[in-house]
Amino acid sequence: MKTAFVTGATAGIGLATVRTLVANGWRCVATGRRQERLDALVAELGADKVHAACFDVRDTGALDGALAALPEGFSDVDLLVNNAGLAKGLSPAQNADLDDWHTMIDTNITAMVVLTRKLLPLLIERRGAIIAIGSVAGSYLYPGGNVYAGSKAFANHFTLALRADLHGTGVRVTSIEPGMVETEFTVVRTGSQQASDDLYRGVNPMTGQDIADTILWIATLPPHLNINRIELMPVNQDFAGFRVARD
């Protein structure tokens, strides 16, 4: 039985990923800050299948503690799913809240690289895999995207850069870059369920399950195949975005 370490498993893409991997014979370390949701996941799927690791990914000491406390059966990580992340705010850069910018950089960039660095020796030893959730926001820019877009451009490129460093190790690395997925993402970004409902209304957006199914497909490909990057959007979203202003 293989083991996945899935960050951000209390909601959205990460939650669907743990459910999907476990349904397909994996064990999962499920992380997030909301203990009660992790407890519910363990109760739902079984303590032999899910280990709850409750910590803030920005807290390196807590991360070290969680890694050291992985029980037997969960410590041999074969797949790291770098998923935990968030956007805060949609204000233009000139009005943006600096605390929001720090939160996104600390979570989407710093925490991701720290965790990846710490698990790399084990992943190399086990010829494992890394799948990271970047975003189309890292490739196609929109107003108010600013630091979120920059953090996801970093995520997309860091993940691809790992491919180069891991050349010859057998470790597979994939950057998944989704467009609109209806999760708690927009509630977290705006602080408003109404804003989230308004954004996704009529779009027929992707679901966390769509991305989880993509992760499962990539994770179960034959070991000689590597999907480098994959970009997904709902049919009703596209990437045409040029604007002009006239004086």
Catalytic residues: 148
Instruction: Name the binder of 183 from ligand NDP, ligand 8X3, none, CB < 5-8 A by kind.
Output: ligand NDP
Which letter does DSSP use for residue 235 in this model?
T
Strands 172-178 and 129-133 turn out to be: parallel
Residue span 164-183 as binding mask against ligand 8X3, x where in contact by CB under 6 A, dash where not: ---------------xx---
The strand ranges marked E within the chain are: 3-6, 27-32, 50-54, 79-82, 129-133, 172-178, 181-182, 206-207, 229-232
Residue closer to ligand NDP, measured from CB, 102 or 126:
102
Least distance from ligand 8X3 to the Cβ atom of residue 180, Å? 5
136 binds ligand 8X3 (CB under 6 A): yes
Q: Which of 3, 20, 31, 135 binds ligand 8X3 (CB under 6 A)?
A: 135
Least distance from ligand 8X3 to the Cβ atom of residue 136, Å? 5
Measure the CA–CA gap between 236 and 27, rounded to whole angstroms: 35
155 binds ligand 8X3 (CB under 6 A): no
* CA contacts within 13 A on the Cβ side of 203: 17
CB 206 within 8 A of CB 234: yes
Q: Which of 4, 6, 14, 78 binds ligand NDP (CB under 6 A)?
A: 14
Strand partners, 133: 176
206 binds ligand 8X3 (CB under 6 A): no
Residue closer to ligand NDP, measured from CB, 160 or 169:
160
**Burial class of residue 170 (count of CB atoms within 10 Å of its CB; 0-12, 13-18, 19+):** middle
Residue span 127-156 as binding mask against ligand NDP, x where in contact by CB under 6 A, dash where not: ------x-x---------------------
- The count of other CB atoms within 10 Å of the CB of residue 186 is 22
Can you give the binding site for ligand 8X3, defined by CB under 6 A?
Answer: 135-137, 152, 179-180
